[in-house]
Structures are given as structure tokens and as C-alpha cells.
């Protein structure tokens, strides 16, 4: 394909093509088949017609002021893939002050939080727009932050970008595609490749190694052999990147349509050993039933099966559920014990795994709420297996709900996903047993409002009945009544008062 292709407004009018909201492709789906260059061109024409009201108009504004402007990066790539955008990225020859002046006269609101990197943002109707001055950036070998120098040409700007599929632009106005590094061909072939040598690219910004894995997971693409080789040789360079940037890439990868592709690449190249070492550690372990290749493969299967159930969580990628699936067995390496009969145990790997998960997420600077949610799921992921064939009492079911708290629905997903047995009869039995547990939870919730279990008497009533003031003894009484509520279900106020007085007298004897 030539470096420049005219996609001007005189092209075929295909504005009536179906362009709904961007849909998430289930993880279990097969990665997309290769596309032809012609298909990519047709997709681009369609999308450019859809976004013409903003891109053509803004192009005219910058051209009238004597500046170059081009749509660039992800919006161009995704336009060719038939994926519509409302967040549009542009690059320009204008410096940030000039860009801000032009956008203020054109848009409804502007912001300059990215001014340090040459970026000015704005809103125009339903569109979110970011315009960045041509630039080049490189890392000092000992620095966590890039140094930014403004450039003076579009080709130079494209050459500093991470991958060829992101190094394409559409000059505006006129809609001429600039593709100096063969990104369209790579896009058609489903290949992740760097504009220059991968060693140079990753030296400039080591986070691009993780981005290669992330784009593989997002697009279902292969990564070029020379890129994989450079990632393997330079994996240690990721250590200079801040935990926050690593975390953000990891979240995007895990929430992508094909996370197994990206995670496998991280493990195979050695990057995971630096950013998520608990994952490759699982490759050394056999599961306790000896029915899977290893705990690592089991874990990736659990992740995929959890994703297949995300309709229960709203139908969108759910990071907490996915990361809990990825981390649920990370306690096994530390708890593995070989018995004399040749069997292997992993006692308390749920508790150890929760502590390990919490420590890793803290190191990656996740929020407290995210850490608490994932760690809770990891700690509780084995609880169901004490249910047997349905022998739990109502009090045990209440405790299951209480302990899960606001993570109950995610716990349902994780527990079901954790069944990877190839024995159909056993798998069906586990499914029916968990169906029964969920049905019992639903019945009890309807009867007792389990989601908000409280003792039958509050703190003021406890103090009044026992004739005591605020203090530790009120807490003890509260916990007694809560356990009573879990064991016996709701009591009348009179019954609860009688039980409280009896408990109080027993403490005084």
C-alpha cells in the first residue's frame, strides 16, 4: 500500500453503514481473522465520514491559522478496524499556546492538564478531543519520566510512536493517510511491530514492552519475533517505570478481549517476573487433583471462564473479578506439601494467597477498595467446597453471604469459574450444587434481607437493657446478638432481649 492514500470527502458516501457503540468481544471468541487492505480502507472511509463534522472543521481551523493538523494513533487504527471513537487524538505543528487559542475559539470547553507533554484537550458536542504538538521523547536510563522535545514534522512524530499500527495519521483537511512504516499492512496481517528497531523503541520507553502485550490482548494480534526477542532481552528495563504506569497497562491488558495472549507473552518474555511474579511462579506447580497441566494453565482457564460469566456483573469487563481469578491460587507455591503417599496438599493457600494478593496490589498502587475487594475474593474462593452436597445449615449460608458482603455476586462468578474439571459428570454435579446454594441464598434473602444483616437489638437498646454505658462490653453484646441472628434467623425484640439477659448473666457468674 502506498504511504499516502486520499480518503477525501469525494469518496463513496457510506454514512449509512451500521456503526453502533463499540462492542466488547468475549474472551473465549477466536481472535479476528486477517483483513484485506481494501477492507481496512473501506472501514476508514466510513468512519471518517461519520466523524467529518469534527475532523474536517478542526482541520480547517488549524489550516487557516497556518498550522498542520492530523488525526493520529488509536482513532486511525480503530477506524480501519471498523471501531468507532468519540475520543479523538490529533497531532499538530502548532505549539501548545497556539493550540489552546485555536481550541478555545472552536470548542465548548478546554483543559491543559497535559501541557507539559504538549497536549491541550477540549470538548466539542459529544467529542472529546486532544491535540498534541509534534514531539519526540526518550528516557534517561535512570529516570522514570520521559523528557519531551517538540518536533517539527509529522513523519518525525510518527517515527517516535510505539508500534506501526499506531504510527499512521490522516492529514486534515483533505483526509490523506500517512503510513510511512507499513502500519496498514501490519494491521491487515494482525502483527505488532515497531517503526524502528524494537531495542531502540524499548530503550526510549520500556513501558512499550508491556504495551506490546496489551495490544496483543486487545486486538488478538501476533507480536513480531524480533519484538518478542527484544522484550525478552530487555525485560529488566521495566524496573525503571513507575508502579502507577505499570498498573495502568496491566489493568488494560486484563480487561482486554484476549487477556490470555497478553499474559502469556508477559510470562514467556520474563516481564511478568518483574511486574507480577506470582503468575509465572504458578508454572512450577501441579494442581491438587492432577487433572490439569499445571496451576498456571488452570488459572488462565479460570480467568476465561470468569469472563464468560460477566453478564452477571453488567456485561462489561470487570477488573476486580478478572484479577481475583488470576490471583486466586497464588498462595499454592508457598503452601505446597508433598505427602508420603505421593499426593500434594496446598492447605490454607486461600489465606496465604489473599495476603500475597494484597501485598502485590499495594506495590502496584491500587486503591484500598480494589485491594480489599480482590483480596476478599481470593480468601473466600474455597469456601463453597465446604458446602458438600448441600449440608450447610441456614446459619452457614447466612455467614457465607455476610462474609462475601458486597462481593457476593463476584464470588458466585469466581467459584463457578474455578471448576475446570474435564469430568462432565463431576462438573455438572458442582454446577447443580452451586445452583442449590444460590437458590437457598435467594430464599433467605427474600425472607430476611441478608444483604443487611444486623442484630435484632441496636446499641442503644443493648445499653438500656443491660444498664451499661458505651464501651467494650456493648461491642461484645452486639457481636453475641449478631452470631445469634446468623444461627437462628430473625428474632422478636422480646426473644432477643431474653437471650441477651441470659448471656449477660452467664458472663457475670
Per-residue three-class SS string for 122-184: EEECCEEEEEEECEEEEECCCCCCEEEEECCCHHHHHHCCCCHHHCCEEEECCCEEECCCCHH
Per-chain mean pLDDT for the chain: 87
pLDDT digits (tens, 9 = 90+) for 407-425: 999 999 999 999 888 888 8
Compute the half-sphere exposure of residue 29: CA atoms within 13 Å on the CB side of its CA. Answer: 13
Band of residue 17 on the pLDDT scale cut at 50, 70, 90: very low
pLDDT digits (tens, 9 = 90+) for 109-166: 999 988 888 999 999 999 999 999 998 755 566 665 666 678 889 999 999 899 999 9
In the block, cell 453475641 appears at 480
**Stretch 306-325: mean pLDDT:** 95
**Stretch 428-438: mean pLDDT:** 92
Q: What does the alpha-carbon distance between residue 298 and residue 27 come to, in Å, rounded to a whole number? A: 16
Q: Which residues contact 439 (CB under 8 A, 6 or more apart)?
A: none
Which is it for strands 109-111 and 119-124: parallel, antiparallel or unpaired?
A: antiparallel
Length of the chain: 509
Highest mean pLDDT among 18-22, 257-261, 345-349: 257-261
Say if CB 238 and CB 207 are below 8 A apart: yes
Q: What does the alpha-carbon distance between residue 356 and residue 375 come to, in Å, rounded to a whole number? A: 9
Band of residue 448 on the pLDDT scale cut at 50, 70, 90: low
- First-to-last C-alpha distance (Å) of the chain: 91
- Helix (H/G/I), strand (E/B), else coil: 24: coil
pLDDT digits (tens, 9 = 90+) for 75-92: 999 999 998 888 999 999
Say if CB 134 and CB 91 are below 8 A apart: yes
**Stretch 24-46: mean pLDDT:** 74
Read off the pTM. 0.80
Band of residue 60 on the pLDDT scale cut at 50, 70, 90: very high
| Per-residue pLDDT, 412 | 96
Compute the half-sphere exposure of residue 470: CA atoms within 13 Å on the CB side of its CA. Answer: 0
| Per-residue pLDDT, 449 | 64
Q: What percent of the chain has pLDDT over 70?
A: 88
**Stretch 344-356: mean pLDDT:** 91
Domains of the chain are: 4-189 (3.30.460.10), 190-276 (1.10.110.30), 277-452 (1.10.3210), 459-508 (no CATH)
Q: What does the alpha-carbon distance between residue 339 and residue 347 come to, in Å, rounded to a whole number? A: 12
| Per-residue pLDDT, 11 | 36
Report the C-alpha dihedral over residues 478, 483, 488, 493, rounded to 10 degrees. 0
Q: What does the alpha-carbon distance between residue 164 and residue 180 come to, in Å, rounded to a whole number? A: 9
pLDDT digits (tens, 9 = 90+) for 200-255: 999 989 999 999 999 999 999 999 999 999 999 999 999 999 999 999 999 999 99
Q: What does the alpha-carbon distance between residue 240 and residue 491 come to, in Å, rounded to a whole number? A: 59
Residue of 130, 131, 149 lying closest to 139 (CA atoms): 149
Long-range pairs of 140-144 with CB within 8 A, sequence gap ≥ 24: 141/240, 142/240, 143/240, 144/240, 144/241, 144/242
Return left, alpha or beta for 190; rule: phi > 0 is left, psi -120 to 50 is alpha, else beta. left
pLDDT digits (tens, 9 = 90+) for 468-488: 888 888 888 888 888 888 778
Long-range pairs of 156-162 with CB within 8 A, sequence gap ≥ 24: 157/72, 157/91, 158/72, 158/195, 159/195, 159/196, 160/135, 160/136, 160/195, 160/204, 161/73, 161/195, 162/194, 162/201, 162/205, 162/208, 162/211, 162/212
Q: What does the alpha-carbon distance between residue 447 and residue 468 come to, in Å, rounded to a whole number? A: 33
SS3 of 49-89 = HHCHHHHHHHHHHHHHCCCCEEEECHHHHHHHCCCCCCEEE
| Per-residue pLDDT, 12 | 31
Cell numbers for 354, please give them: 489473599
Q: Which residues pair with 172 in a beta bridge?
A: 69
Burial bucket for residue 361 (CB in 10 Å: 0-12, 13-18, 19+): buried
Band of residue 186 on the pLDDT scale cut at 50, 70, 90: very high
Amino acid at each position: 500500500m502506498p504511504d499516502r492514500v486520499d480518503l477525501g470527502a469525494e469518496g463513496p458516501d457510506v454514512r449509512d453503514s451500521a456503526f453502533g457503540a463499540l462492542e466488547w468481544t468475549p474472551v473465549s471468541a477466536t481472535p479476528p481473522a486477517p483483513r484485506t487492505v481494501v477492507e481496512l480502507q473501506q472501514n476508514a472511509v466510513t468512519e471518517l465520514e461519520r466523524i467529518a463534522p469534527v475532523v474536517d472543521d478542526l482541520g480547517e481551523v488549524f489550516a487557516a491559522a497556518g498550522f498542520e493538523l492530523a488525526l493520529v494513533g488509536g482513532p486511525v487504527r480503530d477506524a480501519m478496524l471498523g471501531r468507532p471513537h468519540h475520543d479523538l487524538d490529533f497531532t499538530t505543528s502548532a505549539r501548545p499556546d497556539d493550540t489552546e487559542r485555536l481550541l478555545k475559539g472552536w470548542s465548548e470547553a478546554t483543559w491543559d492538564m497535559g501541557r507539559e507533554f504538549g497536549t491541550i484537550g477540549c470538548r466539542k458536542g459529544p467529542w472529546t478531543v486532544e491535540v498534541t504538538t509534534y514531539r519526540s521523547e526518550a528516557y534517561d536510563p535512570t529516570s522514570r519520566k520521559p523528557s519531551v522535545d517538540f518536533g517539527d514534522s509529522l513523519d518525525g512524530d510518527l517515527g517516535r510512536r510505539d508500534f506501526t499500527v499506531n504510527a499512521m495519521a490522516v492529514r486534515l483537511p483533505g483526509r490523506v493517510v500517512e503510513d510511512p512504516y507499513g502500519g496498514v499492512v501490519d494491521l491487515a496481517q494482525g502483527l505488532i511491530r515497531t517503526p524502528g528497531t524494537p531495542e531502540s523503541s524499548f530503550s526510549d520507553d520500556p513501558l512499550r514492552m508491556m504495551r506490546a502485550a496489551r495490544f496483543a490482548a486487545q486486538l488478538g494480534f501476533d507480536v513480531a519475533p524480533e519484538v518478542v526477542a527484544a522484550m525478552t532481552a530487555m525485560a529488566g528495563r521495566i524496573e525503571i517505570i513507575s508502579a502507577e504506569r505499570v498498573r495502568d497497562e496491566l489493568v488494560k491488558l486484563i480487561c482486554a478481549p484476549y487477556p490470555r495472549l497478553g499474559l502469556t507473552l508477559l510470562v514467556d518474555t520474563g516481564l511478568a517476573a518483574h511486574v507480577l511474579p506470582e503468575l509465572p511462579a504458578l508454572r512450577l506447580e501441579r494442581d491438587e487433583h492432577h487433572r490439569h497441566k499445571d496451576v498456571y494453565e488452570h488459572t488462565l482457564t479460570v480467568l476465561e471462564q470468569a469472563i464468560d460469566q460477566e453478564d452477571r456483573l453488567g456485561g462489561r469487563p470487570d477488573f476486580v473479578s478478572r484479577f481475583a481469578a488470576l490471583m486466586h491460587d497464588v498462595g499454592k507455591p508457598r503452601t505446597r506439601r508433598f505427602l508420603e503417599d505421593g499426593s500434594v496438599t496446598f492447605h490454607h493457600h486461600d489465606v496465604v494467597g489473599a495476603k500475597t494478593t494484597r501485598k502485590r496490589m499495594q506495590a502496584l498502587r491500587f486503591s484500598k477498595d480494589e485491594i480489599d475487594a480482590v483480596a476478599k475474593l481470593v480468601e473466600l474462593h474455597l469456601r463453597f467446597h465446604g458446602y458438600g452436597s448441600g449440608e450447610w445449615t441456614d446459619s452457614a449460608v447466612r455467614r457465607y453471604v455476610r462474609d462475601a458482603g458486597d462481593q457476593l455476586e463476584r464470588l458466585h462468578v469466581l467459584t463457578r469459574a474455578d471448576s475446570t474439571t474435564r469430568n462432565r459428570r463431576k462438573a455438572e454435579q458442582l454446577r447443580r450444587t452451586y445452583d442449590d446454594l444460590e437458590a437457598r441464598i435467594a430464599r433467605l434473602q427474600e425472607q430476611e434481607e441478608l444483604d443487611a444483616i444486623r442484630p435484632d437489638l441496636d446499641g442503644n437498646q443493648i445499653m438500656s437493657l443491660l444498664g451499661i454505658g458505651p464501651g467494650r462490653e456493648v461491642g461484645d453484646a452486639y457481636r453475641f446478638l449478631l452470631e445469634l441472628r446468623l444461627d437462628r434467623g430473625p428474632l422478636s425484640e422480646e426473644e432477643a432481649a431474653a437471650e441477651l439477659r441470659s448471656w449477660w448473666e452467664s458472663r457475670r457468674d
